A and B are shown apart, each in its own frame.
Chain A
Amino acid sequence: MTTARHFLHRLLQLGAWAVLAAIVPPSAHAAPSLRQVTSVLTIPVPASAVDPATGLATVTVPSGIQLQVSSTKSWTMQVRATSATFTYVTAPGTGTPKSVAELQLRPAGGGTAAPVSTSYRLITSDAKTKGWGNYAYDVILQVTSADAGGVYSVTLQFNAY
Chain B
Amino acid sequence: MKSKNLFICLAASALCGAPLLPAQSTKQITINASVPETLSLTVDATSVTLAFVTADYDVNTGLATKTAVKATTFSVSANRAWKLTVQPGTAAFTFTPTGTSVDPVKPVSALSIRTGVVAFAPFSGVTSIPVATGTAGGYAKTGNVVPVDYQMTSSLATDPPGAYVLTLTYTLAAQ
Chain A residues in contact with chain B, CB under 8 A? 9-10, 12-13, 16-17, 19-20, 23-36, 38-47, 50-56, 65, 67, 82, 86, 89, 103, 139, 141, 143-161
> A47 with B23: in contact, given A145-B137, A151-B33, A153-B32 (CB under 8 Å)?
no
Besides A28-B23, A42-B33, 6 more A-B contacts (Cβ < 8 Å) are: A17-B7, A53-B140, A54-B138, A145-B79, A146-B136, A152-B32
Q: Count the B residues whose beta carbon is within 8 Å of the partner chain — how many?
A: 40
B155 CB to closest chain A CB, in angstroms? 42
> Is chain B's binding surface mostly helix, strand, loop or mixed?
mixed
Tell me if B78 counts as interface (CB < 8 A to partner A). yes
Q: Is A50 touching B32 in the complex (CB atoms < 8 A)?
A: no
Q: Is B10 touching A52 in the complex (CB atoms < 8 A)?
A: no
Q: B7 contacts which chain A residues (CB < 8 A)? A: 12-13, 16-17
Bound-state Cα–Cα, A36 to B21, Å: 17
Q: Is B35 touching A54 in the complex (CB atoms < 8 A)?
A: no
Chain B residues in contact with chain A, CB under 8 A? 3-4, 7, 10-11, 13-14, 18, 20-38, 40, 42, 75, 77-80, 136-141
